Amino acid sequence: MMLFTAACSPLSTFNTLAPKDKAPAPAERNIAYGAGERQKLDVYPAGPRTGAAPVVVFIYGGGWNNGRRQDYSFAGRALAAQGYLTIVPDYRLVPEEHFPAFLDDCASAVAWAQANAARLGGDPKRIFLIGHSAGAYNAAMVALDTRYLRAAGGDPATIGGVIGLAGPYDFLPFDPGAAQNAFGQAPDPAQTQPINFVRADAPPMLLLHGAEDKVVRIRNTTSLGEKLNAIGAKAEVKIYPGADHPDLVLALSKPLRKRAPVLADIRSFIQAQTPPPS
């Protein structure tokens, strides 16, 4: 498996030029959730809604070796416009760090979201993780292997659901390149795989993949979905005809939504897991 990097991150030119949803600009930028330079996040306040907003933590991809949150304002604004308090964190990358540093960071960002959601108009008991590619891996691991979130001071019980966009979840043995560089030093490779942490009480998952994805194999999505459902967890798998790897995140943007109904499916999934306001 070769993990996607070039079209996923950086996206500076696309992010700068693409029309964006009419959502508030980030309420807070460059907020530290840890001591490191890469341990910062941006917050996009929810668009108009009744009651406290569901909270979305969006984790971008980039092969665990590149990416920056500023290039995903198109995604942050799109999700905020749906009525979600949206948080987009950076996290430490290869080669400066390796597994599990990026998971530690994503867990810390989720814990920050739990601790700060209420003051920002969000519901700290309704946290949804969305990730693309390597970010989908990070989201799945933080949700399934509760050690990371507990170590960060967070509560796994507040994870209301996970949306994985073209994620790698079952990719042993490591292919040369991004995966080997990120995980090759792990003493027990099996402990790096989300599929090995499925459990009956896992948060509901929406697993999306493009039928034309040549970067992350579709079996990552189908295998995780099948294993979760087999043990009594709830997982919905959708394969988009004609969509490739970058389409799964680019379809969040306003001009490219016709490539795949990713945003509409995310909205339906979160709505199904979220009780109506009282």
CA 269 to chain centre: 14
Q: In terms of C-beta density within 10 A (0-12 exposed, 13-18 middle, 19 or more buried), how is residue 173 classed?
A: exposed
> Which CATH number goes with the domain that contains 22?
3.40.50.1820
129 within 8 A of 158, measured Cβ to Cβ: no
The verdict on residue 55 lying in a domain is yes
Q: Say how far apart CA 109 and CA 104 lie, in whole Å.
A: 9
Return the sign of the alpha-carbon dihedral for residues 32, 267, 165, 159.
Answer: positive
Could you tell me if residue 1 is inside a domain? no
Per-residue pLDDT of the chain (278 residues; tens, 9 = 90+): 433 343 344 478 899 889 899 877 677 899 999 999 999 999 999 988 778 999 999 999 999 999 999 999 999 999 999 999 999 999 999 999 999 999 999 999 999 999 999 999 999 999 999 999 999 999 999 999 999 999 999 999 999 999 999 999 999 999 999 999 999 999 999 999 999 999 999 999 999 999 999 999 999 999 999 999 999 999 999 999 999 999 999 999 999 999 999 999 999 999 999 776 54
The residues facing 159 across adjacent strands are 127
Residue 4 lies in a domain: no
Task: Output the pTM of the full model.
Answer: 0.94
Residue 167 lies in a domain: yes
Strands 28-32 and 40-44, sheet pairing: antiparallel
- Output the CA torsion 21→53→133→236 (10° steps): -110
CA separation for the pair 38, 160 (Å, rounded)? 26
Residue 135: which domain range? 12-273
| Residue 187 within a domain | yes
2 lies in a domain?
no
Could you tell me if residue 6 is inside a domain? Answer: no
> Is 263 within the bounds of a domain?
yes
Tell me how many domains the chain contains: 1
